[in-house]
Structure 1
Amino acid sequence: MANIKKGDLVQVISGPSQARGGDRGKQGRVIEVDAAKNRVVVEGVNFVTKHLRVGQTDRGTKTGGIETHEAPIHVSNVALVDPKTKKPTRVGFRVEKNADGRTVRVRYAKKSGEDL
């Protein structure tokens, strides 16, 4: 079971600080997870510019130019945000029984920040 899933609120915990033009400390939702490469795409974090070749659509409008979008970052550089304290935290797993009586693993946020 993965620690970070699509839709989770995460915070960047490594790299240059925002004062130096980096993304450390920024929070955002996970847009995409690449489990094979251990990478995640977080909205509003790690913007890169992409140059697109100029072309034409069927209607004759021009396409192309320079666009910016989020690039993937390694999953070890982000931490799940605790919904109560809004601070980065570690993830634990609990084994519980659901309504059907099946045993399932449930993610939960461990203590974070000054709670320790």
Structure 2
Amino acid sequence: MKGVALNFNGIETIHGLTSDHRPVMLKMGPPDGGRSIPIRKITNWKRVSTALEEIDTPNLNSIPNDIASTDEIDFAIGALTNHVRTVVEVSEREVPASSDRRKCPPDILELIRAKNAS
């Protein structure tokens, strides 16, 4: 089993069997018993950059112009962090992990590289 990735789901002691050892049952697989589809997130960084250039947002408008105390500094840091987190989350999309453009034929990959270079 070396090098095999297994999804460990749980361990259960079997009390009904008599033995000098304590028998256990390892449950493998996703928690719902079905087959889970791995998903990965793709971030559109150009969209993030464009959205971060906008300064008239509720998160940024809540930051005071004159910061005089450490509490106001903490609040401003939190507001800016929330703004960046929101912008990145809005700019993400979920795709199945198995969808990989490296599986495309070489001529299609070349077309994609040329498009991205222009």
Q: Which has the higher contact order (CA 8 A, sep 6+)?
A: 2
Normalised to the residue count of structure 2, the TM-score between the two structures is: 0.23
Bigger strand fraction: 1
Greater radius of gyration (CA)? 2
Normalised to the residue count of structure 1, the TM-score between the two structures is: 0.23
